[in-house]
Amino acid sequence: MQGIRGLAAALNSSGRFKYKTPEIAVDHLVIGAGVVGLAIAQRLCEKFPTKSTYVVERHERAGEEISSRNSEVIHAGLYYPADSLKTRLSIRGRELMYERCQEYSVPHRKTGKLVVATEEQRLYIENLHRKATKMEWPPHSSSSLSSPALPTKLISGDEARIMEPNLSTNIAAALWSPETGIVDSHSLMESLEKDILDSDAGDLAYATRIVRVDPYLPESSKEEHDVQGWVVQTATGDDTENVESDPILARTVFNASGLSGPFILNSLLPAEKRIPMYYGRGSYASYKGPGVSGISHLIYPCPDVGPNAHAFASLGTHLTLDMNGKIKFGPDIEYISPQSEEDVDFWARHLVPDDSKLNEMHDAVTKYLPGITLEGLQPDYVGIRPKLVPPGAGAFQDFIFRTDYPSQFGGGGAMGQGPMISLLGIESPGLTSSLAIAEYVVDDIFGGIST
Ligand SMILES: Cc1cc2nc3c(=O)[nH]c(=O)nc-3n(C[C@H](O)[C@H](O)[C@H](O)COP(=O)(O)OP(=O)(O)OC[C@H]3O[C@@H](n4cnc5c(N)ncnc54)[C@H](O)[C@@H]3O)c2cc1C
Ligand SMILES: *[C@@H]1O[C@H](CO)[C@@H](O)[C@H](O)[C@H]1NC(C)=O
Ligand SMILES: *[C@@H]1O[C@H](CO)[C@@H](O)[C@H](O)[C@H]1NC(C)=O
């Protein structure tokens, strides 16, 4: 745990790109075409069909970073504090997710999930159950208020073994979550992309990077009163030395840049106010072998809540299924550090899965599925969690939504004009929550400012 560094880097720290006067303007600029940026853009196009919405993504297609390297689980919303945004947005997001999957034929399955407990861990699932029972539907929900927002059932070890015969006899009890499921995240992103492109309001630019962001400096005092926003410079291509940037005036910026989240904001903040980011690497292994006869539900252990607790850092190495019925275990958690502040994409070097984790993973999963063999585990893929707190910080960290205005940074306009809404720390359950994050950001935060 010692020696983990955060990264407090800022965009354009070399000063390579200078301020430019914009020649074109958009109403809404969304940074990042991960599942969250696409969901926000889709909602903007739907709610504001006469305004322009422009999504900028540095890769050649959507979801190349966090959104394609996760467990693809539609979480019920069990784990987080009752009054947190993570709970609120995963319950509402789950509802929106199943609705959208049905309406747009996005492959998904409501598998249900078992959180399995040994005798010593029984209290943990009893507490989850008690909290779940009290949970109410969050704002915007459309479900009948008489249906439970977070249905769960406590069952005995024997009942759990009837559902999953290969569970260890050490499992004394389990929490059954019928609302948990899995989704094909790529099909989900495709459905959002299609909505954006089919609308008159939206456009997507791939292979295009944001290289600099400034508050807009109006050129005349007349302009000062009607135009507020941000000058966002984009560049295409990898040649950072020679590339020319294009300045766009964005009246509102939605920053959904995932692992690069704080860099843009940091480029505007004084050094001591910069936001450091930590990176939690999670490895997955696929499994073929004995000990998983007829498995049809997701199986999660109780998170480690001991002295070196990761309870909020990771849910523990669990079993998930994909839409093809393939079994995988993961993700574990290992914090990784950059070599220097310039090394902003250092995490990309850590995406190659290796077999160094397999022994530990085998130890973890045989606690609840004792028939799993080491030989059946194969390194599969790796995902990186954007963490706002360093390892061992212990405390719960919620999603953060932060709004800044050009006037705070020497730009034109008054407070409340030309907002930039930044999304920080959108780790799990960010996929589940994506559609509810869009609703919250567009309807509640942006809607609250623009009226
Ligand atoms: C190991 C792991 C397991 C997870 N499991 C689950 C799960 O089972 N269920 C669940 O609900 N959630 C899960 N999550 C969380 C979920 O995957 C994320 O919350 C979600 O995918 C985040 O989406 P995003 O759009 O914010 O980020 P991303 O998908 O990373 O999108 C951000 C985009 O911004 C782009 N970008 C960045 N900087 C720039 C720039 N300067 N210019 C242009 N574009 C830029 C990037 O290229 C990227 O495409 C998991 C996460 C991890 C890491
Ligand atoms: C966008 O948000 C990320 C954090 O998610 C942050 O690093 C970056 O600075 C933000 N960009 C802008 C323009 O604020
Ligand atoms: C798994 O369950 C199957 C079917 O009940 C059984 O035949 C097999 O022996 C079990 N294997 C282990 C390792 O428990």
Please say whether the beta carbons of 438 and 40 come within 8 A. yes
Q: Which of 7-11, 188-192, 282-286 has the lowest mean pLDDT?
A: 7-11
Measured in angstroms, how far is the CA atom of residue 195 from the centroid of ligand 2?
A: 25
Q: In the prediction, which pLDDT does 222 show? A: 56
pLDDT over threshold 50, residue 445? yes
* Ligand 1 in reach of 321 Cβ (< 6 A): no
Q: In the prediction, which pLDDT does 166 show? A: 98
Distances (CA, A) of 389 to 5, 278, 298, 393, 399: 11, 7, 28, 6, 12
* Ligand 3 in reach of 373 Cβ (< 6 A): no
| Domain residue extents for the chain | 24-450
Q: What percent of the chain has pLDDT over 70?
A: 91
pLDDT over threshold 70, residue 396? yes
Which residues are within 8 A (CB) of 319 and not within 5 positions of it... i.e. 6 or more apart? Answer: 292, 295, 298, 299, 300, 327, 328, 329, 365, 369
Distances (CA, A) of 40 to 188, 410, 437: 13, 28, 8
Q: Give the rounded distance of the alpha carbon of 89 from its chain centre.
A: 12
Distances (CA, A) of 53 to 44, 135, 174, 435: 7, 36, 46, 17
* Ligand 1 in reach of 385 Cβ (< 6 A): yes
Q: How far is Cα 118 from Cα 359, in angstroms, rounded to an integer?
A: 22
* DSSP assignment string, 228-267: --EEEEEEESS-TTTPPPEEEEEEEEEE--GGGHHHHHHH
Radius of gyration of the chain (CA): 23
Give the domain 24-450 fold. FAD/NAD(P)-binding domain (3.50.50)
Out of 161, 164, 293, 296, mutate this one to test ligand 3's pocket (max ligand atoms within 8 Å of CB): namely: 293
Q: Which tokens hold the place of 253?
A: 């910026």
Q: Phi and psi for 285 in degrees, rounded to 5?
A: -125, 140
Measured in angstroms, how far is the CA atom of residue 165 from the centroid of ligand 3?
A: 6
Q: In the prediction, which pLDDT does 15 show? A: 74
What is the rounded (10 degree) CA torsion for 439, 311, 177, 370? 140
Q: In the prediction, which pLDDT does 9 show? A: 63
Q: Give the rounded distance of the alpha carbon of 144 from its chain centre.
A: 28
Q: Is the pTM of this model over 0.85?
A: yes
Q: How far is Cα 393 from Cα 389, in angstroms, rounded to an integer?
A: 6
Q: How many residues does the chain have?
A: 451
Measured in angstroms, how far is the CA atom of residue 257 from the centroid of ligand 2?
A: 6
**pLDDT-based confidence at residue 252 (cuts at 50, 70, 90):** very high
* Ligand 1 in reach of 295 Cβ (< 6 A): no
Mean pLDDT over residues 272-291, rounded? 90
Q: In the prediction, which pLDDT does 416 show? A: 77
* DSSP assignment string, 274-331: PPPBEEEEEEEEEE-SSS-TT--SEEEEPPP-STT--TTT---SEEEE-TT--EEEE-
**pLDDT-based confidence at residue 1 (cuts at 50, 70, 90):** very low
What is the rounded (10 degree) CA torsion for 340, 344, 348, 350? 30
